[in-house]
């Protein structure tokens, strides 16, 4: 008797008596192969559809990023037209804050959020009369309380823009101080977001290093002395250390 094995070598079939059974096996094998081919084709179609969806999503995200970039540019232009000093200040603060965040080894997306917030952190000054901003003397208490409204106004301007980071909150908190002596809400310590604490250090250092309408530039050593003196009192200790390291060890300079 002749024995043969089916395609998977499972059970011997008897050639003569089993011819019909073997044909059925071949038929079902062909059917299985067809089904398998159909399934592979379906998977291919799904993979193509998935890739297309992914591409469409990436394009939408890119469009959204570009639109947000345009919104930021418009805001910067509006500030620049009215108050060139603040525009230059915001760019230098953005550059230093981004570098402090990088020195602190924060994640890339957080660093980028801090840079964006830095570029527009004083946008609220748009609502303050230009003559107050450029006054060639120290401000009166009434003028100072007007200036102190700018973080909240900035927050109101930015809060509905769909940033990928909490930029509006960072702007809101950039004048808060670690011991609660800042404004507008007198937040303290951990209640202030780390990004805003970094912005605060960069903001103060840039302000001391720059010429103001009522005084000349005081220089980087004076700025570093200020943040070291009030390390963990007014300013976040880690952000202070990173900032000092940038100027003393890494050769950071304002552009």
* Site of interaction with Fe ion (CB under 5 A): 122, 203
Q: Closer to Fe ion by CB, 122 or 176: give it.
A: 122
Q: Which two tokens stand for residue 237?
A: 């200790």
Which CB, 86 or 231, lies closer to Fe ion? 86
**Cβ atoms 169, 152 nearer than 8 A:** no
**CB of residue 153 to Fe ion, shortest distance in Å:** 11
Q: Which is nearer to Fe ion, 79 or 244 (CB)?
A: 79
CA pair distance 68, 64, nearest whole angstrom: 6
Closer by beta carbon to Fe ion, 215 or else 248: 215
Min. distance of Cβ 121 from Fe ion in angstroms?
6
Q: Please give the C-alpha separations between residue 182 and each of 123, 141, 145, 175, 188, in angstroms, as whole numbers.
A: 18, 16, 12, 6, 8
- The C-alpha atoms of residue 197 and residue 200 are separated, in whole angstroms, by 5
Query: Minimum CB separation from Fe ion for residue 216, in Å?
Result: 18
Q: Which CB, 106 or 201, lies closer to Fe ion?
A: 201
Shortest spacing between CB 126 and Fe ion, in angstroms: 12
CB of 45 to Fe ion, least distance (A): 55
Nearer to Fe ion, 128 or 224 (CB): 128
Q: Do residues 95 and 111 lie in contact, with contact meaning Cβ atoms separated by under 8 Å?
A: no
Place of tokens 């084709």: 41
In the bound complex, what is the minimum distance in angstroms from residue 111's beta carbon to Fe ion?
A: 19
Q: Of 96, 57, 100, 46, which Cα lies nearest the Cα of 203?
A: 96
Total length of the chain: 255
Residues β-bridged to residue 12:
5
* Least distance between Fe ion and beta carbon 168 (Å): 14
Beta bridge partners of 212: 215
Annotate 184-218 with b (16+ C-beta within 10 A) or e (fewer): beebeeeebbbbbbbbbbbbbbbbbbbebeeeeeb
Contact 204, 220 (CB under 8 A): no
- By beta-carbon proximity to Fe ion, the closer residue of 94 and 224 is 94
């Amino acid at each position: 008797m002749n024995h043969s094995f089916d395609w998977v070598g499972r059970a011997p079939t008897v050639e003569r008596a089993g011819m019909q059974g073997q044909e059925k096996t071949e038929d079902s094998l062909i059917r299985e192969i067809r089904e398998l081919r159909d399934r592979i084709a379906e998977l291919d179609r799904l993979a193509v559809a998935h890739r297309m969806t992914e591409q469409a999503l990436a394009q939408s995200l890119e469009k959204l990023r570009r639109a947000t970039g345009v919104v930021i540019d418009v805001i910067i232009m509006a500030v620049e037209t009215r108050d060139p000093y603040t525009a230059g200040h915001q760019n230098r603060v953005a550059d230093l804050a981004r570098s402090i965040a990088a020195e602190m080894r924060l994640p890339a997306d957080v660093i980028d959020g801090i840079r964006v917030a830095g570029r527009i952190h004083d946008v609220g000054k748009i609502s303050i009369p230009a003559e107050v901003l450029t006054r060639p003397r120290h401000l009166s208490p009434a003028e100072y309380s007007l200036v102190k409204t700018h973080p909240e106004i900035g927050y109101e301007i930015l809060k509905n823009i769909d940033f990928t980071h909490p930029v509006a909150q960072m702007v809101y908190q950039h004048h808060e101080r670690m011991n609660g002596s800042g404004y507008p809400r007198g937040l303290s310590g951990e209640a202030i977001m780390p990004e805003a604490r970094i912005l605060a250090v960069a903001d103060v250092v840039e302000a001391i290093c720059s010429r103001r309408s009522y005084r000349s530039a005081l220089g980087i050593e004076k700025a570093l002395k200020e943040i070291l003196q009030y390390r963990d009192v007014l300013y976040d200790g880690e952000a202070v250390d990173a900032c000092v390291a940038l100027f003393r060890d890494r050769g950071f300079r304002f552009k």
